[in-house]
């Protein structure tokens, strides 16, 4: 063999579980063993974001906050001076939280970001101790811009590109490995915003977009992507290849291994995104522009969710009725997870916690003669995903139909709402029919 080819420049993201005390040494080796240009992106270390979230729950007790600070110190040993600064800043912000007595969106976001800031400082320190020049980089200071929408902000890719390049290129030129915080960015008004749970995946593809790089690796602790959550479906199979569209549907319909917006920058630039396991190098999933050679069949479970049934006279044909309903909900702060309609019945699915509020907001539509509103009813959404999925309708389990409260379908998804307590059972039955039996040799 000739000289080995330098791998293409790659953004490599390490998730929180891959940075746990047990796994972290492997993550460090993984990175040190790489050739070619690399930017690392890190999540908060395992459990840290959950702990910070717990601090935001009232009552805001000093003891609890002091304990958390101590844990943060222990979880990020040997922090360089800049990292020590984050601990002090976190201490100040927790104190502010106790004084204000309310977790304002701004304060909450600020507090949550210390998980990633500490992680980047600590990880860069580990690399330096192993002789690799590395530097922690905070994504908000770097200029990763977001639109600031609370809870679900979008990264403004074009607006971020120039400053991201300006920040990272000089480091890369000097052979310094940037370790960038995942999960956060800066809104136009300068506020820091977090990207939602699992948001570091999205940070990774967004940074690759800004750099004009075509490779991203999302490194998880154990499994890559599977045909279903292996904790719920023991027979879940590894998935080796899928398309952006399929990956996006999986994330939207509840697969927790991927943040729902991760594929947006990747699709825009036709990147190759690999999801791989740190424990087992054979576990790899490649997400790319087209579908894989084997048709994907994967399942997700989202729930419990709340189902509301609104019957409007004139039905869905009534001009603007869908817009009125969804606007009323969004103005009241409720996000519609999915919506099915028949001629006069709108079946609206929202997050469980938002069910009662959605009911109140929809109440005004019942003033029309003949209109009715039922719910919120606890449900689970079981979704089958894969290009050409509707050709599988004949494989659906025989006992299923009476359980189905509503369904929506496209050429690559079939999403069924079923009673909340039957979700896992339906998920397993669908997995058996669509994934496991499909593989069995024809008799
Ligand atoms: N630390 C954040 C979370 O736990 C973001 C991430 O892990 O990607 O959700
Ligand atoms: Mg995570």
Mutational pocket test of ligand 1: of 20, 115, 118, the residue with most ligand atoms within 8 Å of the beta carbon: 115
Cα–Cα distance between 170 and 340 in angstroms, integer? 51
Q: Check pocket membership of 16 for ligand 1, CB cut-off 6 A.
A: yes
Instruction: Report the alpha-carbon distance of residue 348 to residue 316 in Å, rounded.
Output: 13
pLDDT digits (tens, 9 = 90+) for 271-301: 999 999 999 988 899 999 888 888 999 999 9
Residue 199 beta carbon below 6 angstroms from any ligand 1 atom: yes
- Whether 44 is in the pocket of ligand 1, judged by its Cβ within 6 Å, is yes
Sheet containing 134-137: order of strands: 134-137, 177-181, 38-42, 10-14, 215-220, 272-277, 284-288, 241-243
Burial class (CB within 10 angstroms; exposed 0-12, middle 13-18, buried 19+) of 420: middle
User: What are the angstrom distances between the C-alpha of 28 and each of 23, 33, 171?
Assistant: 9, 9, 19
Q: Which residues of 47-82 are buried (b: 16+ CB within 10 A; e: fewer)?
A: ebbebbeebeeeebeeebbeebbeebeebbeebeee
In percent, how much of the chain has pLDDT > 90?
81
Q: Is the CB of 218 under 6 A from ligand 1?
A: no
Q: Is the CB of 283 under 6 A from ligand 1?
A: no
Read off the pLDDT of residues 146-204 as tens digits, 9 standing for 90 and up.
999 877 899 999 999 999 999 999 999 999 999 999 999 999 999 999 999 999 999 99
For the chain, helix (H) and strand (E) counts, in that order, are 14, 17
pLDDT given for residue 3 in this prediction: 59
Phi then psi dihedrals of residue 332, to 5 deg: -90, 10
Pocket lining: 200 vs ligand 1, CB cutoff 6 Å = yes
**125 CA to middle of ligand 1, Å?**
21
Spatial distance between the Cα atoms of 443 and 428, rounded to a whole number of angstroms: 23
For residue 182 and ligand 1, the question of a CB distance below 6 A is answered with: yes
- Please give the pLDDT value at position 443: 43
Check residue 440 and give its pLDDT: 65
DSSP 335: -
Q: What distance in Å separates the CA atoms of residue 165 and residue 334, rounded to the nearest whole number?
A: 37
Query: Is the CB–ligand 1 distance for residue 178 below 6 Å?
Result: no
**Confidence (pTM):** 0.91
Q: What angle do CA 419, 423, 424 make, to 5 degrees?
A: 155
115 exposure class (CB count in 10 Å sphere: 0-12, 13-18, 19+)? buried
Give the whole-angstrom CA distance, residue 18 versus residue 15: 5
Cα 152 to chain centroid, rounded = 10
Exposed / middle / buried, residue 402 (Cβ in 10 Å: 0-12, 13-18, 19+): exposed
* 138 token code pair: 């905070």
**Ligand nearest to C-alpha 42:** 1
Q: How far is the centre of ligand 1, averaged over its atoms, from the C-alpha of 396 (Å)?
A: 35
Per-run averaged pLDDT (10 residues), the chain, 443 residues: 75 97 96 95 97 96 96 94 92 97 95 98 96 97 94 93 98 98 96 95 98 96 86 94 93 86 95 94 90 90 95 80 92 91 90 96 90 95 95 91 91 95 96 88 50
pLDDT number for residue 82: 81
Which atom of ligand 1 is found nearest the CA of 16? 7
* DSSP 3-state of 88: helix
Spacing, Cα 3 to ligand 1 middle (Å): 39
Q: What is the pLDDT of residue 441?
A: 58
Domain annotation for the chain: domains and CATH numbers: 10-288 (3.40.1160.10), 298-439 (3.30.2130.10)
User: What pLDDT is stored for residue 4 in this prediction?
Assistant: 66
Q: Locate tokens 């087992």: which residue? A: 280
């Amino acid at each position: 063999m000739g000289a080995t080819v330098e791998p293409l420049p790659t953004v490599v993201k390490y998730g929180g579980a891959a940075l746990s005390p047990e796994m972290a040494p492997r993550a460090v080796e993984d990175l040190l063993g790489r050739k070619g240009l690399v930017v690392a992106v890190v999540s908060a270390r395992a459990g840290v974001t959950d702990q910070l979230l717990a601090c935001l729950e009232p009552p805001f007790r000093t003891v609890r906050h002091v304990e958390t600070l101590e844990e943060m110190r222990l979880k990020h040993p040997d922090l360089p001076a800049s990292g020590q600064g984050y601990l002090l800043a976190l201490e100040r912000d927790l104190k502010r939280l106790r004084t204000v007595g309310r977790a304002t969106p701004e304060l909450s976001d600020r507090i949550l970001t210390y998980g990633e800031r500490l992680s980047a400082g600590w990880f860069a320190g580990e690399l330096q101790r192993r002789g690799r020049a590395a530097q922690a980089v905070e994504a908000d200071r770097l200029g990763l811009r977001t639109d600031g929408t609370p809870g679900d902000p979008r990264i403004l890719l074009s607006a971020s590109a120039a400053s991201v390049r300006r920040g990272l290129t000089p480091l890369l030129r000097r052979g310094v490995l940037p370790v960038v915080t995942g999960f956060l960015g800066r809104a136009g008004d300068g506020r820091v915003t977090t990207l939602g749970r699992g948001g570091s995946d999205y940070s990774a593809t967004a940074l690759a977009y800004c750099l004009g790089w075509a490779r991203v690796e999302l490194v998880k602790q154990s499994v890559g992507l599977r045909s279903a959550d292996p904790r719920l479906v023991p027979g879940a199979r590894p998935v080796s290849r899928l398309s952006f569209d399929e990956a996006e549907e999986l994330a939207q319909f509840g697969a927790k291994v991927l943040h729902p917006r991760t594929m947006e920058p990747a699709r825009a630039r036709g990147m190759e995104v690999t999801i791989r396991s740190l424990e087992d190098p054979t576990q790899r999933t490649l997400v790319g522009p087209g579908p894989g050679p084997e048709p994907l069949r994967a399942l997700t479970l989202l729930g419990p969710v709340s189902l509301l049934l609104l019957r409007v006279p004139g039905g869905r044909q009534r001009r603007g009725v869908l817009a009125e309903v969804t606007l009323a909900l969004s103005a009241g702060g409720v996000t519609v997870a999915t919506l099915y309609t028949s001629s006069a019945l709108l079946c609206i699915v929202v997050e469980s916690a938002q069910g009662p509020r959605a009911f109140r907001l929809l109440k005004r539509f019942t003033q029309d003669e003949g209109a009715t509103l039922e719910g919120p009813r606890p449900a689970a959404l079981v979704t089958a995903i894969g290009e050409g999925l509707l050709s599988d309708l004949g494989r659906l389990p025989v006992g299923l139909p009476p359980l189905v409260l509503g369904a929506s379908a496209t050429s690559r998804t079939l999403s069924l709402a079923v009673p909340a307590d039957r979700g896992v059972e339906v998920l397993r039955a669908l997995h058996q029919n669509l994934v496991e039996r499909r593989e069995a040799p024809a008799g």
